[in-house]
Structure 1
């Protein structure tokens, strides 16, 4: 039986998440014995073996890392030039799985560049709206569907706007 969404949130800080991810994705972890290769390997050794065996996988991994670096470290002034370079690299890679992503970069070029605009020390994104949409979906899911649309609208408005008062 699938676990039902109770709407509870666990308070986890960004530092805790970062620490967990560093531990989880530490490529230089302690080597463990691998029965298949009959030797001790850590994650970096396994990655090297995979890249030697599958060069396309290495190319895909490097392109992914370049895009992540671009997204985290590029300024608005450098975004257009950097994105154009990435589009060329993804297009020239010849990796079929990246073809859809390549088209996405071309079609959303202007929006991606505009996302590097900084307001109040933060980049522009739609996370607030996505969060609100998720809250509304959870309200409707937990209510098993409303039959009275006016009541549903009032309930959603009440839950989203904690400072407002509610009357029937």
Structure 2
């Protein structure tokens, strides 16, 4: 759902961008700094010394931004981008709220928070966000079911040796991964006209290719007539 919401956020950005003048600072921000909208406010990285640094630290060093002809850091760029439109700021806010929903909620709290999220999206007055609220309504039960824990395992941190319990929730990631692989097969072959050949190719790649957890195996053509022992 976060991926689907990103599409709604992007539609808001494009709509706002179309209302700005090409060559203006606003147009530059909306056109060339849009990747900032996909970064969580609390995101961080490690510098060359290994120190933990916040990406959107207001006090971070500035660098020259040629499109704006001034020195700015990522925090200032993000704020300038969000200042281009109240609708865009709302869309960014709900993008982060949805991300937090999936990260922090559990089965006992997910339903109440999802209803609250839908109500708040409806009240924004932003068409793209209201449309996404309808999507959440249509998939309400499936979203709640995704909070069921289907697997638990203990994971050891290789650096510290600390052990933590990792819970796996019910997701559609496996299906989405397989769909992506199938699309890649079609793309790499420039399409198929023979259904049986396409079917064999898909079954072969999904069952034996590197994507199935066997990085030591190489993907080979189906019915190539090539001796597999070579």
TM-score after normalising by structure 2: 0.53
Correspondence for 1:118? 149
Instruction: Summarize the alignment of residues 9-158 of structure 1 with structure 2, pairs less than 5 Å apart.
Output: 22-23=44-45, 26-28=55-57, 29-33=60-64, 40-51=71-82, 54-120=85-151, 121-158=167-204
| Deviates further, 137-146 or 61-70 | 137-146
1:60-100 Cα deviation digits (max 9, x unpaired): 22222111111111101100001011011101111122121
State how far apart, in whole Å, the 1-side matches of 2:69 and 2:206 are: 57
Relative distance call for 1:150 and 1:34 in structure 2 (3 A) is closer
Number of matched pairs: 145
Q: Deviations over 1:13-58 (max 9, x none)?
A: xxxxxxxx745x8122421356787764322233344555643333
Greater strand proportion: 2
CA-atom RMSD in angstroms: 3.1
Of 158, 162, 165, the residue aligned with 2:208 is: 162
Q: Per-residue displacement from partner, 1:98-153 (whole Å, max 9, x unpaired)?
A: 12111111111111111111111211111111222222222233334444433332
- Hey, which of these two has a bigger chunk of helix by percent? 1
| Deviating 4+ runs (over 6 angstroms) | 35-38
Does the CA contact (< 8 Å) of 2:62 and 2:72 recur in 1? yes
